[in-house]
Amino acid sequence: MSVLSKSVITALFSVFLIYSGHANAEKAPGFSLKGDRGQISLQKLRGKVVYLDFWASWCVPCRKSFPWMNKMQQKYKSKGLVVVGINLDESQADAKNFLKQVPGNFTMAYDPQGKTPGKYKVEVMPTSYLIDRRGNLVHTHRGFKKSKADKMEAEIQALLSKK
């Protein structure tokens, strides 16, 4: 396949993803939560593509999702991806213990009172959301399955290529 054909296919696929994303164009609910170094606010992340993940220390699939999220953050940081993990443990000690065993090399926010997941209508743990540069909530992923990782990565790429 020539380079030109490959580019055309990628472009068409991205356009498809962009338009399928637009079908869901609603603003992602705002939040301002305590992080490891100061407040984390969604408003301040406007212009970036945000992968927002709700997790807890007792959520077993989260152990598998963290290495993947670390990989995504590292790979696409320069292109403008910000991975934000919102921890929902009632006790911060539990979260810290988890992070000692399973490191999270992305932005951490803590919501022990669980105010944010309600706004996002979280139905299952974990749930992740992809928010575009304009603050629209484009994709929702319930649970974490390794088999869906490639599809999610393509979605990230598509949103990163949009202005």
Partner 1 sequence: MKSIQKKLALASCTLLSHGLPNAAQAAEGEDWAVDGSLLHYAEEDRITVNKFIGTLVTNVSESDKVKVDLVYDTMSGSTPSGALDSAGSFATVSTPSGAGGFSASSGSTSIADFEDTRLGVSLDWEHTKKRVHRINYGSSISVEKDFTSFGVNTNYAQDTSSRIVTYSAGIAATFDSVRRSTGGTPEPFTEYGDGQSLDEGSRVTWDTIFGVTRVLNRRTLGQINFSTGLSEGYLTDPYKLISRTLNLSETHTYFEDRPSSRQRSSVYMSMAHTTRHDNVMHLSYRYYWDDWDIVSNTIDYRLKFRYEGGFFIEPHFRYYDQTAANFYMFSIPQETYQLSGFPEYASADYRLDQMEGTTVGINIGKTFPGKGKLRFRVEQIEWIYDNSLFDTNKALVVQLSYKKLFE
Partner 2 sequence: MKRIITIHGVVLGLLLLSGCSTMKDFSNTVKDSLFTYEKVKPWQKGELAKEDMQLVDDGMMTYADDHIYFSKEAATGGKGVGGGGCGCN
Distance CA 62, CA 141 (A): 13
Contacts to partner 2 from residues 120-149, by CB under 8 A:
122-126, 143-145
For position 88 contacting partner 2 by CB under 8 A, the verdict is: yes
| CB-nearer residue toward partner 1: 8 or 124 | 124
Among 12, 24, 123, 134, binds partner 1 (CB under 8 A): 123
Least Å distance, CB 36 to partner 2, is 20
151 closest CA partner among 37, 62, 72, 54: 72
Q: Is 35 helix (H, G, I), strand (E, B) or coil?
A: strand
What six digits make up the tokens of 128? 């992740």
126 binds, among partner 2, partner 1, none (CB under 5 to 8 A by kind): partner 2
96 sits near partner 1 (criterion: CB under 8 A)? no
DSSP state of 43: G
E strand or H helix at 41: strand 38-41
Rounded to the nearest 10 degrees, the angle between the axes of helix 149-161 and helix 61-76 is: 30
Q: What residue has token string 């992602």?
A: 28
- Residue 17 touches partner 2, criterion: CB under 8 A: no
Point out which span in 26-34, 44-52, 57-65, 126-134 binds partner 1 (CB under 8 A). 57-65
- One of 14, 29, 41, 61 touching partner 1 (CB under 8 A): 61
Q: Which is nearer to partner 1, 4 or 60 (CB)?
A: 60
Interaction between residue 80 and partner 2 (CB under 8 A): no
Torsion sign (Cα): 99, 105, 92, 137: negative
Residue 46 carries which side chain, given as an amino acid letter?
R
Residue 148 DSSP label = G
Q: Which does 93 bind (CB under 5 to 8 A by kind): partner 2, partner 1, none?
A: none
Residues binding partner 1 (CB under 8 A): 60-61, 63-64, 101, 123-124, 142-143, 145-147
